[in-house]
Structure 1
């Protein structure tokens, strides 16, 4: 069990260091072709437990990803503390990152119970595995 934990932590730290290229100041994030993260859903509303699609007219950019918001109020909240709303692991599946893969996410797997991070997983069965052994 301890070896598995050490391996998982080393994998996560390796991917995190890979995800940030210091030379270019770029982050590896799960975005679409337009550079939009979270499939265009409002990160603030997700954090509040609501699922709202963001508008293409209300946006902010953080760590190379475009965030969309359903209201100016949510944009203001995000801009005040973007790290609070940023998805962990660049918006990739948490379980996938822990096992060395960069895969997409299902927004219905959203969870903040692990160290108050914004965690997403590939699907609900993977989310259950993550909760069992993060």
Structure 2
């Protein structure tokens, strides 16, 4: 028993000190719903130039998250090529991802750059993001998706 206890406590300590973001879902959703992009129509950012709330009548599952759309046309566009529309870094905050951290992305704090959608945590974070989006993207790209399993 004396030999087992130190091994047990060592194993427990390694679990307790594991990063809080280990094994994150590839697409950010809230605890009590499975909506990607917070229920906003991801096609609308590209088509309308602004976020539009989705309607559950138009939905598609992608990578374990439910995406909802404002219209059948937007749903069909998404189904044809989901990677073209989903937020980068699974909808986690792009600025935080550049630092190797997970924070939820707010669908109202967004940028479309070079045909890709990026979400940020808040308006203050988005102001920081806008100072050097290309630099933050380069840093975040180096971390994503490997960071999901750290």
Match of 1:121 in 2: 120
Q: Which runs of 5+ in 2 are unaligned?
A: 1-22, 137-150
3-state SS of paired residue (1:118): strand
Q: CA RMSD in A?
A: 1.7
CA distance in structure 1 between the partners assigned to 2:103 and 2:59 by the alignment: 24
3-state SS of paired residue (2:116): coil
Q: Normalization by structure 2: what TM-score?
A: 0.66
Runs of 4+ residues deviating >6 angstroms? none
Residues 77 and 31 of structure 1: CA distance in aligned 2, closer, same or farther (over 3 Å):
same
CA distance in structure 1 between the partners assigned to 2:76 and 2:115 by the alignment: 21
Aligned residues: 109
Q: Greater Rg, structure 1 or structure 2?
A: 2
CA distance in structure 2 between the partners assigned to 1:37 and 1:45 by the alignment: 14
Q: Normalization by structure 1: what TM-score?
A: 0.73
Greater RCO (CA < 8 Å, at least 6 residues apart): 2
